[in-house]
Amino acid sequence: MLPHYTVYLFQYHLQKTKAIVTPLWLQDSVKFGRPLPCSSYVAIHDLEDETLQNCDTVQDTSSGSSFHFPSGAEKESSRQTEPDELIDATEVESLSYNAKYSCLRPSPLVCPNQSLVKEIDVIRRGRNVEGEERSMLSYSRAISVIKAYPHVITEHNIQDLHALPFLGEKILSMIEEFLRTGRITEAQKMLADLRFQSLSAFITIHGIGPHTARRLYDLGLRTLEELERYYEVKPGVTDEETMSLLDAEASANTEAAVEQSIKIGLALRHDLSQTIPREEVEEINRTIMRELGHVQKGCKSVIAGGYRRGKPQSNDVDIVITHTDWNLGSQKVKGLCRKLVQRLHEQGFVTHVMHLSGFHEHNVLRTHHWDSLEKALTVFVWRHNSSRRTVYRRVDLIFAAPEVFWTAVVGWTGSTMFERDLRLWAKQQKGMKFDSSGM
């Protein structure tokens, strides 16, 4: 089993018990089939003596089951297999519903207080479309805590909520109102508000975020039909030549490209707004991997997103792809995203590319969370087996080297609150920086 490289930035006394080396140590050790001496790979000069001392321990135990480098014939035979799972899946019972971080709490798809969550979520959505990010985050955290609470909230146990994180007096008063009336006044007013209705409809279109939605509303637009007239779009009709595969990467962030994405999203909105059953998600994945086999053999995939979280219906399909060759996989997946999309386009499966990006070096100083992995956000054309009707689906393809495949899968699984707290937990509790492209 191969270890993932770990940078220890914990408390100082822990740093002194570990061999703290640069990532190059792992790469070279894999190349030579054995753990190399640490002297040339010391990451923290002040801890050089401790690193050299603890490195001996790593080398002495390298033949154990927890830390093993393949060599010789074994290395060759394992070339086409991915590393074993490092740990067993976490048992839900071991998670605490009152943990500070949502990534440490159980998050059921349907919780005992689902009606309450749905009511509070209306207010969260209202804060989102109005660009009130701090308030939106507060409601998101509160919703996450309530979803993890394992009991139906009643007037008899509501006092227990005071011990839970992120449930302030305002949220608690809303919960009390919901227990009395089955509704929350602010949420009901919001649902009846025409501005909220318009902005909420606008942001369902790919390429339209809250800021753009408010700008369009200020122009006097109120409905999706008015948006179609504004962008000169006919339902179901798109200009496929306006965003070619070859130009997509270069123009991905231009104003023209964003507008084109909006036009595509509007034209195909009736199909793209439909949810996708799990069986269809799996069939789309099989189709894509079959086509990928014609481009590069030896790849494997994991369906992430809502599908991996267990949702019976998905809004889109997120597929994370890597190569099973642990030694050369990073080289084999580089540039593969564009080749696969080109193949899918030629075979008539991909009609539009919303975004196409190549690999970028991992930058630990990055402050935003759009990872450095190769990815393509596409419109996939699909034919239903039952009706044989052609439908359009949003399919995102993400490519990751074998050594960061696990972070890519975790990072593209969601939910948004889980990912946010996972980054926060890694930073605050482990002194590390996590995103989809590595740690």
In this structure, is the dihedral angle defined by the CA atoms of residues 184, 132, 136 and 195, taken in order, positive or negative? positive
pLDDT in tens, 94-120: 789 999 999 999 989 999 999 999 999
418 has pLDDT over 80: yes
Choice between 204 and 366, residue whose per-residue pLDDT is larger: 204
Comparing CA positions, the residue from 306, 271, 266 lying closest to residue 384 is: 271
274 has pLDDT over 90: yes
Contact (Cβ atoms closer than 8 angstroms) between residue 322 and residue 333: yes
- Indicate the CATH number for domain 271-430: 3.30.460.10
The three-class DSSP label of residue 43 is coil
| First-last CA distance in the chain | 19
Peptide bond into 415 cis (omega under 30): yes
Average pLDDT, the chain: 83
189 has pLDDT over 90: yes
Residues 6+ apart with CB under 8 A from 93: none
pLDDT of residue 360: 44
How is residue 240 written in tokens?
């496929």
pLDDT of residue 384: 67
Comparing CA positions, the residue from 245, 325, 336, 330 lying closest to residue 295 is: 336
Comparing CA positions, the residue from 300, 308, 306 lying closest to residue 325 is: 300
Percent over 70 (pLDDT), the chain: 75
Cα separation of 7 and 314, whole Å? 36
Cα separation of 147 and 117, whole Å? 7
Domain locations in the chain?
12-77, 92-192, 194-267, 271-430
The angle subtended at Cα 280 by Cα 201 and Cα 306, nearest 5°, is 55
DSSP letter string over 74-136? HHHHTTTSPPPPSSPPPPGGGS-TT-SSGGGS---SS-TTHHHHHHHHHHHHHHHHTT-HHHH
Q: Among 28-37, 152-161, 327-336, which is the least confidently predicted range?
A: 28-37
Cα separation of 154 and 308, whole Å? 32
Distances, alpha carbon 227 to alpha carbons 129, 192, 223, 355, in Å: 17, 21, 6, 22
Cα separation of 23 and 32, whole Å? 15
| Residue pointed to by tokens 């000069």 | 45
Contact (Cβ atoms closer than 8 angstroms) between residue 370 and residue 50: no
**H or E element in which residue 345 lies:** helix 336-346
- Topology agreement, domain 92-192 and domain 271-430: no
pLDDT in tens, 374-417: 999 999 998 766 556 789 999 999 999 999 999 999 999 999 99
How is residue 174 written in tokens?
């809303």
pLDDT in tens, 199-210: 999 999 999 999
- Quick one: CATH architecture of 92-192? Orthogonal Bundle (1.10)
Query: Looking at residue 42, what DSSP letter applies?
Result: B
pTM: predicted TM-score of the whole model, two decimal places:
0.76
